[in-house]
Structure 1
Amino acid sequence: MFHQMRQACFGFLGFLALIAGSSAWAAERPNVIIILADDMGWGDPGCYNSESKIPTPNVDRLAAQGMRFTDAHAPTAVCTPTRYSLLTGRYCWRTRQKKIVLTPYAMPLIDRDRTTLPELFKQHGYATAAFGKWHLGIEWQRNDGTHTAPDDQRVPDRVINLAEPFLDGPCDHGFDVYFGVDVPNYPPYCFLENDRVVGPVPDQFKPATNVSTPGRGQEDWRFDRILPAVRERGLGYIRNHAAKNKETPFFLYLSLTAPHIPIVPNRPFRGMTKATLYGDFVAQIDSLVGDVLTALDETGLAENTIVVFASDNGSPERNGQDGAGPFGSCISDSGHRPNGPWRGRKADIHEGGHRVPLIVRWPDNVRPASVSQELICLIDVYATLAAVLRHPLAHDMAEDSFNMLPVLLEKEMPGPVRQSLVLHSDQGMFAIRVGPWKLIRGQGTGSFFTNDVIEPDAPEGQLYHLADDPAEQKNLYRDRPDLVEGLSKMLDEQIRVGRTRPE
């Protein structure tokens, strides 16, 4: 299978032929905007789920003007690993982060010598910007003048010197400018800009709540200010760039903090949907997407801008009560199913944990209202955009990222671009997809957040045929030992060799 995977992918000569024969994107290099929602489910947008109780006219408009992927996945069912993979093209479990997410004040996860996606764009003369959630680690200065170290575990909030600039943040990994928060429910509770805290040094201790961990923050800090501030910075960047620097293309990463907890939709959106406060927060995301599209139209940038919309993992399906609510409460309270028909939720190894919305709009190149059933992962964004830049990938770049440009341009191909995909839960459980088959290496959901009930005689793993059993209800693990053996060997090999993209 691994040999077939290598044969199915385009070599460099084939890649050159592809771009030479395409409907050629503009001689001007296209701008690129990635809008990444946080904890938004596959079943939230109306273009994915006709029974959604959340109006999403702007995400639906994006789908009507571009390509919607129905079999798209986050590489891991929680946020830090997905963000790492998106910006590096590499599975996060190949790093020190083998499960869950980075804790407050954790050291940077991206190595300094690894070429990130924004660094790749900068090599091609792009301006780069990131606004919103980071959650990939920052090297903070301590009060004694030393810095946090890679082996630090849960650095005490009190030892961090928030008055000093930090190191190894977004601007050290390819972004010209950054504004946002590390994590909305982690300290420090303040905005960060480029390499330092914005405004007064956070000196108020904030106790733990049902939506946030304890730590220092600014006295007047409010969670409901975050998303509007990210929106304002993103729209301002687009308009200012068009007015002052239009000849230079840009790469903009809008890393939203919604509908992640704290679930705090602003007043104009409260009660807008019939899907609890969670649905209202998703509606606020949709409004932001609409504002971005309008800004592109009004500045004349829309025709030469690629817009990518996705979510970092599945939804935890909370109702937003007191900023959070129990897992699954959105369904029980409103009947809305954030993850659509798929089993499981955020953090799970089952489809609801990692199957996500993914939409790409690229005028005059991607056919409007097109739908792809190609198996694709957010990790593939890297290689695909490298192909747009006509940048061949070196051996040590984006080792797990596949070029999906042929799919976007609807070119005839001898077979799927991606023959297999490795998936991962928050507790480190592995799965592998090959065609309709999905092998899960373990029992239950693989999630810290779900109370598994495992039958005493349950098999040691799970095997599902998703075409026949999309809800993952019929475990064929004992019925098809041949497939279990073959897929297990393939998974072992892809973990062992350190890469899945053919050279």
Structure 2
Amino acid sequence: MNKRTLMTLAALAAATVALGGAKSASSLPNIIYILCDDLGYGDVGICNPDGKIPTPNMDRLGREGMVFTDAHSGSAVCTPTRYGVLTGRYAWRTRMKSGVLSGYSNHLIEEGRMTVASLLKENGYHTAYIGKWHLGWDWVKTGDAEPGKGLGRITPVDYTQPIQNGPKENGFIYSFGHCASLDIPPYVYVENGMPTAVPDRETFADKKEVKNGWWRKGPTAPDFDHWDVLPNFTRRAVKYVEQQARTDKPFFLYLPYSSPHTPVLPTSEYKGKSGIDSAYADFTYMNDDCIGQVMKAVEKAGIADNTIIIVTSDNGCSPEADFEELKMQGHNPSAIYRGHKADIFEGGHRVPFIVRWPAKVKAGTVCTDTTCLTDMLATCAEIVGAKLPADAGEDSVSMLPNLLGTATGSLREATVHHSVNGTFAIRQGKWKLIDAPHSGGWSTPRPGKDKELYKDLPLVQLYDMESDPGETINVQDQHPEVVDRLKALLEKYKNDGRSICAD
């Protein structure tokens, strides 16, 4: 048994003692997982003191809990990250090798695969999803998609029929939300598997006219108002917390907001309230206030002490936020990190990650250990005292020892990163190896489009993230043994079908 295994077993044993051994329903914590959409690491004040957007609620959550400074989404774009959050498995192991799903795509989560929701449901939790799904579900389609390419292609659907292979089939007792990003049609709410209304019109917002508040043309239901989506999800989340607090059953609320992703739509009461001239800043401030409303509901219900609230993001900030406009006012959504959403660079996948659990997590603490959003499944299993089967959580490590302060070393052997075009990187300790000479995404040098800029560069990039967190100096030629080791480990993870050893 190696040293790392001994360290992990010791930490898990201490965690079990700290949680009081066998778990009863009354002692299990409530869990609220708030997944923001395209919120940059640098957009949250407690993560980036130099940021200019006020985020008082996320900042308070961090002061009263733990801030992770080296947390990463499973991908630099949303669909694959969401798959990883719920399944504990990297999405590149599925058909999702690059890009994201459309609003009409069939389900991505395989039938019968364990999710965070199904695990918790099996262990006595009431489970709910409210928000943006973007993992595919099966509409009753009545025709083929329109000609053309892209996420705006429209497919005829019978909106009077229930969907299949959506939240309900993946462990959620209650569900309410829409199929994809708020700029991707169709614009229809689905509650407990049924569309809430049949579209009666097509809507769109032209990118040339409304800048970062645009959305693609598509079928829109009469009860769907783009401007009200964030407030609607928040109202429903608050109501759910209030209802569940009156029961003796622990609950899991998965709240994947569709904000501050495009369309950027701050309502009138938030316009100008961020203090800088930016619709994105106002929308981020509004998003923070909505998180504060959920926090307030938890506190008002008297359940804050044993409720875990997690706030994070599915990837880095999108260039649709207008980085240049923000930069002129002293704000960088990626903070000190290179790149942004879609990139293999840190700005694509290093995300804010804040956890408050007053009963167990010491206030005002910081975790510098590398963490991945795929770690949620193993963490929940450890919390409820369940053992994951061999075909679940293949890339998930319990972060519970870090939360409880019992970890004696790094919990992950290594972490794999993935960009929008399918470029891989692997991180171990201070070393990060990018298996390409370009960004893998939308920033310079872009794969293919900027080939002249990188055609003479080394085929791999190696960065020392301790001395060079901005990924400015490629040191692959100075450390060939590190390059070889990390390339071999990445290939092993690919070939083994898992990165976590099965017990």
1:259 match: secondary structure: coil
Query: Does structure 2 conserve the Cα–Cα contact (< 8 Å) formed by 1:6 and 1:502?
Result: no
Match of 2:296 among 245, 269, 294: 294
Query: Does structure 2 conserve the Cα–Cα contact (< 8 Å) formed by 1:330 and 1:337?
Result: no
Q: Which amino acid aligns with 1:228?
A: P
Between the aligned partners of 1:250 and 1:379, the Cα distance in structure 2 is 20
Task: Within 5 Å, give how 1:184-195 maps onto structure 2.
Answer: 184-195=182-193
Query: Does structure 1 conserve the Cα–Cα contact (< 8 Å) formed by 2:445 and 2:454?
Result: no
Kindly provide the CA deviation profile for residues 309-330 of structure 1, in whole angstroms up to 9, marking residues without a partner as x. 11110001434xxxxxx5x234
2:305 match: secondary structure: helix
Q: Which amino acid aligns with 1:360?
A: V
Gap runs ≥5 in structure 1: 320-325
The residue aligned with 1:425 is 419
The residue aligned with 1:212 is 215
The residue aligned with 2:280 is 278
Q: Which amino acid aligns with 1:233?
A: R
Answering whether residue 164 of structure 2 is matched by residue 163 of structure 1, we say: no
The residue aligned with 2:464 is 465
Answering whether residue 444 of structure 2 is matched by residue 416 of structure 1, we say: no
2:121 match: secondary structure: helix
The residue aligned with 2:375 is 380
Distance 1:82 1:412, change over 3 A: closer
The residue aligned with 2:57 is 58
Match of 1:309 among 311, 321, 326: 311
The residue aligned with 2:339 is 344
Query: Does structure 1 conserve the Cα–Cα contact (< 8 Å) formed by 2:116 and 2:376?
Result: no
The residue aligned with 2:239 is 236
Q: In the TM superposition, what is the alpha-carbon distance from 1:10 to its structure 2 partner?
A: 2.6
Query: Does structure 2 conserve the Cα–Cα contact (< 8 Å) formed by 1:380 and 1:404?
Result: yes
Kindly provide the CA deviation profile for residues 36-71 of structure 1, in whole angstroms up to 9, marking residues without a partner as x. 110001111111111111111110110011110000
Between the aligned partners of 1:121 and 1:221, the Cα distance in structure 2 is 31
Q: In the TM superposition, what is the alpha-carbon distance from 1:142 to its structure 2 partner?
A: 2.1
1:33 match: secondary structure: strand
Between the aligned partners of 2:18 and 2:411, the Cα distance in structure 1 is 19
Q: In the TM superposition, what is the alpha-carbon distance from 1:430 to its structure 2 partner?
A: 0.2
Distance 1:41 1:8, change over 3 A: farther
The residue aligned with 2:5 is 7
Task: Within 5 Å, give how 1:472-491 maps onto structure 2.
Answer: 472-491=471-490
2:395 match: secondary structure: coil
Q: In the TM superposition, what is the alpha-carbon distance from 1:18 to its structure 2 partner?
A: 3.4
Query: Does structure 2 conserve the Cα–Cα contact (< 8 Å) formed by 1:53 and 1:275?
Result: no
The residue aligned with 2:396 is 401
Distance 1:363 1:164, change over 3 A: same
Match of 2:362 among 361, 367, 379: 367
Query: Does structure 1 conserve the Cα–Cα contact (< 8 Å) formed by 2:53 and 2:285?
Result: yes
Q: In the TM superposition, what is the alpha-carbon distance from 1:156 to its structure 2 partner?
A: 5.9
Q: Which amino acid aligns with 2:429?
A: G
Answering whether residue 251 of structure 2 is matched by residue 250 of structure 1, we say: yes
The residue aligned with 1:259 is 260
Query: Does structure 1 conserve the Cα–Cα contact (< 8 Å) formed by 2:161 and 2:194?
Result: yes
Task: Within 5 Å, give how 1:177-188 maps onto structure 2.
Answer: 177-183=174-180, 184-188=182-186
Answering whether residue 81 of structure 2 is matched by residue 82 of structure 1, we say: yes
Query: Does structure 1 conserve the Cα–Cα contact (< 8 Å) formed by 2:15 and 2:400?
Result: no
The residue aligned with 1:175 is 172
The residue aligned with 1:98 is 97
The residue aligned with 2:140 is 141
Query: Does structure 2 conserve the Cα–Cα contact (< 8 Å) formed by 1:38 and 1:311?
Result: yes
Q: In the TM superposition, what is the alpha-carbon distance from 1:331 to its structure 2 partner?
A: 3.0
Between the aligned partners of 1:8 and 1:209, the Cα distance in structure 2 is 58
Between the aligned partners of 1:220 and 1:167, the Cα distance in structure 2 is 22
Q: In the TM superposition, what is the alpha-carbon distance from 1:478 to its structure 2 partner?
A: 2.0
Q: Which amino acid aligns with 2:460?
A: G
Between the aligned partners of 1:240 and 1:22, the Cα distance in structure 2 is 26
Between the aligned partners of 2:45 and 2:156, the Cα distance in structure 1 is 47
Between the aligned partners of 1:198 and 1:382, the Cα distance in structure 2 is 30
Q: In the TM superposition, what is the alpha-carbon distance from 1:15 to its structure 2 partner?
A: 3.0
Between the aligned partners of 1:216 and 1:51, the Cα distance in structure 2 is 41
Please provide the CA RMSD for this pair. 2.3
Answering whether residue 449 of structure 2 is matched by residue 446 of structure 1, we say: no
The residue aligned with 1:323 is none
Between the aligned partners of 1:337 and 1:4, the Cα distance in structure 2 is 42
Query: Does structure 2 conserve the Cα–Cα contact (< 8 Å) formed by 1:23 and 1:365?
Result: no
2:127 match: secondary structure: strand
Kindly provide the CA deviation profile for residues 403-440 of structure 1, in whole angstroms up to 9, marking residues without a partner as x. 11111111142x31112100000100000001100000
Q: In the TM superposition, what is the alpha-carbon distance from 1:393 to its structure 2 partner?
A: 1.2
Between the aligned partners of 2:493 and 2:227, the Cα distance in structure 1 is 42
Between the aligned partners of 2:50 and 2:150, the Cα distance in structure 1 is 44
1:253 match: secondary structure: strand
Between the aligned partners of 1:170 and 1:125, the Cα distance in structure 2 is 18
2:493 match: secondary structure: helix
Q: In the TM superposition, what is the alpha-carbon distance from 1:335 to its structure 2 partner?
A: 2.5
Q: Which amino acid aligns with 2:470?
A: A
Distance 1:18 1:156, change over 3 A: closer
Query: Does structure 2 conserve the Cα–Cα contact (< 8 Å) formed by 1:463 and 1:477?
Result: yes
Match of 2:199 among 195, 199, 202: 202
Q: Which amino acid aligns with 2:268?
A: R
Q: Which stretch of structure 1 is more off in the superposition, 98-107 or 453-462?
A: 453-462
Q: In the TM superposition, what is the alpha-carbon distance from 1:303 to its structure 2 partner?
A: 1.1
Q: Which amino acid aligns with 1:480?
A: H
Q: In the TM superposition, what is the alpha-carbon distance from 1:455 to its structure 2 partner?
A: 3.8
Between the aligned partners of 2:393 and 2:339, the Cα distance in structure 1 is 29
Between the aligned partners of 1:172 and 1:409, the Cα distance in structure 2 is 32
Q: In the TM superposition, what is the alpha-carbon distance from 1:6 to its structure 2 partner?
A: 6.0
TM-score by length of 2: 0.91
Kindly provide the CA deviation profile for residues 466-489 of structure 1, in whole angstroms up to 9, marking residues without a partner as x. 111111000112222221111111
Q: In the TM superposition, what is the alpha-carbon distance from 1:240 to its structure 2 partner?
A: 1.5
Kindly provide the CA deviation profile for residues 128-169 of structure 1, in whole angstroms up to 9, marking residues without a partner as x. 11111000001011237xx99xxx998963422112111111
1:308 match: secondary structure: strand
1:379 match: secondary structure: helix
Between the aligned partners of 2:407 and 2:167, the Cα distance in structure 1 is 38
Answering whether residue 392 of structure 2 is matched by residue 392 of structure 1, we say: no
TM-score by length of 1: 0.91
Query: Does structure 1 conserve the Cα–Cα contact (< 8 Å) formed by 2:53 and 2:284?
Result: yes
The residue aligned with 1:122 is 121
